Amino acid sequence: MYKDLNTSVRTLMTPGPVEAEPRVLRAMCTPILGQFDPEFTEIMNETMAMIRSVFQTENQWAFPIDGTSRAGIEAVLGSIIEPGDRVLIPIYGRFGQLLTEIAERYGADVVNIETDWGQVFNPQVVIQEMQRVKPKIVAMVHGETSTGCMQPLQEIGAACRALDILFVVDAVATIGGTAVKVDEWKIDAAIGGTQKCLSVPSGMAPITFNARVEAILLERKKIERGLADPSTYQKLQTRVIRSNYFDLSQLMDYWSPARLNHHTEATSMLYALREGLRIVLEEGLTVRFARHKLHEQALVQGLKAMGLEIYGDPNCKLPVVTSIRIPAGIDGESVRHRLLQDFQIEIASSFGPLKGKIWRIGSMGYSCRKKNILHVLGALEAVLIRHGAKVYAGRAVQAALDVYDNIEV
Ligand SMILES: *Cc1c(COP(=O)(O)O)cnc(C)c1O
C-alpha cells in the first residue's frame, strides 16, 4: 500500500539540515547495544571526550542532550533559571527570540536589547546593559543563521566573568564550522547542534558547562531532596528544576561513572554523533575552519560576480551562512522551487522581517565542498535568467573557480 522509501538525493545548501557525511549514515546501521554494556559506555566516554575537543574546553561536563538543538538550549536554561531570575538576552535575529521564549517559559525575568537584523552588537553596548541590569545570566547566539551574522563573544565573556554573571551561548550553527572557544571566551555553558556544521542528522545537541554551572545544579538537586521536609516544602518547591527529561543534574549522574539510569540513550544517534565528531577531529579544527572560509569566499565572489548583493554587515559575516538580497521584482519562492525541481538543490528563505527579502545559502560541514558551491552558483544563475532577472551571465562560476585556482595548489 505504501511504497518503498526512496528519497531524492538532494544538494542541501540550507543552514540545516545539511547533507550527512556518508560515514555517519553508515555508522547509524551499527547493531544496537544495551546502554550499560561496557562497549556502549566506552562509546559514551569517547563521545564526551570528542565534544570537549570541538568546544575547545577542559570542562568535565560535555555530553549530548537527546532531542534537537533546542533541547540542548532548554536543558541548559531550564536547569539554571529559577523563577524570577533576571536574564539578559541581546537579540539580533530569530534565534535570540528563541532563547527569550525558552527563558520566559522557565520563569525568567528577561531583559532584551535589540539591534537591527543584519548587524551584531558592539560588545560595549552589551556590557553597559549588563552593568545596568545586573542579570544572573547573559544568553546569546554565536552564529545567527536567520541573518548570517556572527557575534564576537570574547569581550562579553570576560565581562560576565568579572561581574560574576553566567554566560550561556547558542553555538548550534557554528560548532564544527568556525571556532567556538569555550574556555578562552569564558563561556559557562554552550550548546551545539548536529545537523549543521557537524553533518550528522538532527536529533542530538552536544552541550558543555563548567563548575560554575555545576554548582547551581548541585544546589538545586539538594533542594529537591529537601522537599521531603513539609515545613519547607512550599518555599522550596519553586526552586526545583522543572523538567525531568532536561534536568542536567540527573543527566550528570547518567553521563558520569555513577551511570544512574535516566532515559534510554538514543543509541543510533550516538553512533552518528561519535562518527561525525571523529571526522571533524581527523580533519583537524584549523583545517576544517579554513575549508569553510575558502568555500565561503568562492560562493561570495561568485554571487557578487553575478551582480547579486550580499545581505548584512560584512564585518560580522557568519562564514557558514551567506545571505543574499532577493533582486527587486523576483519571486524568491519561485526561484527556490525551480532550484529544487530542476537542479535538486535546496537553499533557504528566512523568517520574520526578512521573509521574502533574502535567500540564505548554507556552506556547512559535508555540504561545504567545491562541487556543491559550483553547482549552486551555476543553477542559481540559470534560474534567475529564467525569471527574467538581470544578471551578469557566465561570470559566477568563473569567479568561484578563480578563488579555487588561486588558493589550491
Ligand atoms: C538551527 C538552530 C537552532 C534550532 O535547532 P533545532 O535543531 O531546530 O532545534 C537554534 N539556534 C541556532 C543558532 C540555529 O541555527
d(CA 390, CA 387): 9
- Distance (angstroms) between ligand 1 centre and the Cα of 67 equals 11
pLDDT at 409: 47
> Taking a C-beta distance cutoff of 8 angstroms, is the pair 152, 120 a contact?
yes
pLDDT at 233: 75
pLDDT at 408: 61
pLDDT at 234: 73
Q: Which of 12, 18, 74, 95 for a ligand 1 pocket mutation test, highest count of atoms within 8 Å of Cβ? A: 95
Homologous superfamily of domain range 285-405 = Aspartate Aminotransferase, domain 1 (3.90.1150.10)
Place of cell 537553499: 347
Q: In what order do the strands lie in the sheet with 109-114?
A: 61-66, 204-209, 189-191, 166-170, 137-141, 86-91, 109-114
Three-state SS at 182: coil
Sign of CA dihedral 232, 237, 239, 243: positive
Which residues of the chain carry a pLDDT beneath 50? 409
pLDDT at 113: 98
- Distance (angstroms) between ligand 1 centre and the Cα of 191 equals 10
DSSP-assigned letters across all residues of 203-264:
SEEEEEE-HHHHHHHHHHHHHHHHTTSTTTHHHHHTTS-S-STT-HHHHHHHHSTT----S-
Query: 90: cis peptide before it, omega within 30°?
Result: no
pLDDT at 376: 98
Q: Which of 145, 202, 269 for a ligand 1 pocket mutation test, highest count of atoms within 8 Å of Cβ? A: 145
Ligand 1 pocket, residues with Cβ under 6 angstroms = 16, 68-70, 95, 98, 141, 143, 145, 170, 172-173, 193, 202
What is the CA 307 to chain-centroid distance, rounded? 30
Is CATH 3.40.640.10 the right assignment for the domain spanning 21-280? yes
Domain boundaries, the chain: 21-280, 285-405
